[in-house]
Amino acid sequence: MEWLDEYEKLVIRMDTPKVVIDNAVCPTATLVQVDSARKRGVLLEAVQVLADLDLSVKKAYISSDGRWFMDVFHVTDRLGRKLTDDSVISYIQQSLGTWTEPSQPAAFEGLTVLELTGADRTGLISEVFAVLADMGCSVVDARAWSHRGRLACLVYLRNEDADAIRVACIKTRLAPLLRGDSDASGGVVAVPACSVPHADRRLHQLMYADRDQDLALPTPSVSVESWAERGYSVVTVLCPDRPKLLYDVVCTLTDMDYLVFHGTIDTNCGQARQEFYIRHADGSPICSEAEMQRVSQCLQDAIERRSFEGVRMELRTPDRPGLLSDVTRTFRENGLLVVQAEVSTKADMASNVFYVTGTTAGQEVHQSAIEAVKERVGIDSLVVEEHRPQLYQKIQPDDRNGGGIGLIHLGNFVKRNLYHLGLIKSW
């Protein structure tokens, strides 16, 4: 019936997000505003698009009212500039303007992913890539995180290099390396690349499942409080700002099955403050002290996984068999510990980024080790950048009122942040 077709068109128009990108509202950042009918996971999808483009979120406002939501982000590029590239702006509009399930890039089609977890130690990454090279496997892409003595790694192989027989051999050879000398868990799982729509999110999930937690170490400040009269739990994060910080926090809350109904993000002088009003998926707030502690600890871990002191080494060179094995062996021979790795190949070129520290995580990297690596892999191919984030400082309970973490009336919360984000004028 004709009226039914018109109704379906109306539903489609209502469910299709409206994306506005404005460079005139704020003098220092580009405003990205997304309005749509509420959909579970939509906040993570929006933040993921911005994170994948390496954009920094300087301010943000998140609000949902009934079945409608609005997200506003003030973003800059990695150099702190507004977005002026038309291709980037067009990509954001197209990505946020449609509700499609996230999928792997076309370059990952026909690949198999090895999911590795285990006890980390100096040289482990090198040994993993050495085994794969010895078995004739061609690594197309890889991501690795090391945190608190545990390793999570995704290795993308071509399907012809990952048949059932070869995968069984890979598991047999890698399992003892990943377990180490202890009885800790560790192993290898092979899955199609299509089942891992986003590598960073999967690494968070692997680390969370592997419980990379240790309460004795310094952590970011994360508080979880109850706002019973409004039916919310309030999560407040205070820590040094860094790329993809918002993504890591939202990803963790989403995977823990919490919904973010309102929130504000603000950065000032390199420090980030994030506040989220959350509920369980069934609409109930957090009701126990133990659960509050668990949420706080999981968020601290998620923030720390990408935060370290060390050196960033970026290697761009023609790809060849055994390249990763040779490079990581060079790190090991010079006493360098790989705490993160991002490996990719395009055409015949390899683009590999390694984040390294001394043999103990956080230990200073000596210049002699850097020079030795440069000499081995080629000075023209390697870019070295020191990476030293600020140390975390825990907020004391007595500071909460002075620090402005206390709960506020939701109406004032909305008006205040709409004003600061340039969406309404001051009275």
Residue 76 has pLDDT above 90, yes or no: yes
Whether 427 is covered by a domain: the verdict is no
81 with 135, same domain?
no
* Between 326 and 3, the higher pLDDT residue: 326
- Give the tokens for residue 137: 């496997």
295 with 404, same domain?
yes
CA 68 to chain centre: 26
- Give the tokens for residue 192: 């199609």
Total length of the chain: 427
Outline where DSSP puts E strands in 66-124: 68-76, 111-119
Residue 311's closest CA among 266, 361, 345, 275? 361
Whether 167 is covered by a domain: the verdict is yes
Mean pLDDT of 370-374: 86
Q: Tens digit of pLDDT for each residue in 352-367?
A: 999 998 876 556 788 8
The pLDDT of residue 49 is 94
Residue 202 has pLDDT above 90, yes or no: yes
Query: Is the Cβ–Cβ distance between 207 and 201 less than 8 Å?
Result: no
SS3 181: coil
The pLDDT of residue 206 is 92
Whether 258 is covered by a domain: the verdict is yes
The pLDDT of residue 39 is 78
24 with 172, same domain?
no
The pLDDT of residue 116 is 94
22 with 76, same domain?
yes
* Between 91 and 379, the higher pLDDT residue: 91
What is the number of domains present in the chain? 2
The pLDDT of residue 144 is 95
Whether 186 is covered by a domain: the verdict is yes
What residue has token string 């309404």? 424
Mean of per-residue pLDDT scores for the chain: 82
User: How, if at all, do strands 337-346 and 349-357 pair?
Assistant: antiparallel
150 with 290, same domain?
no
Q: Give me the domain span that covers residue 232.
A: 2-102+216-304+396-420
363 with 382, same domain?
yes
378 with 253, same domain?
no
Give the Cα separation of 241 and 236 in Å (integer): 14
The rounded percent of the chain whose pLDDT value lies above 70 is 80
CA-angle at 232, arms to 226 and 236, nearest 5° = 65
What residue has token string 């000499």? 375
236 with 191, same domain?
no
Whether 197 is covered by a domain: the verdict is yes
Q: Return the CATH number at 329.
A: 3.40.1020.10
140 with 228, same domain?
no
The pLDDT of residue 187 is 86
The pLDDT of residue 394 is 41
Q: Tens digit of pLDDT for each residue in 287-300?
A: 899 999 999 999 99
SS3 174: helix
Residue 89 has pLDDT above 90, yes or no: yes
38 with 24, same domain?
yes
pLDDT level of residue 404 (50, 70, 90 thresholds):
very low
23 with 94, same domain?
yes
Whether 352 is covered by a domain: the verdict is yes
pLDDT level of residue 407 (50, 70, 90 thresholds):
very low
pLDDT level of residue 186 (50, 70, 90 thresholds):
confident
Whether 208 is covered by a domain: the verdict is no
95 with 8, same domain?
yes
Give the Cα separation of 73 and 96 in Å (integer): 12
Whether 74 is covered by a domain: the verdict is yes
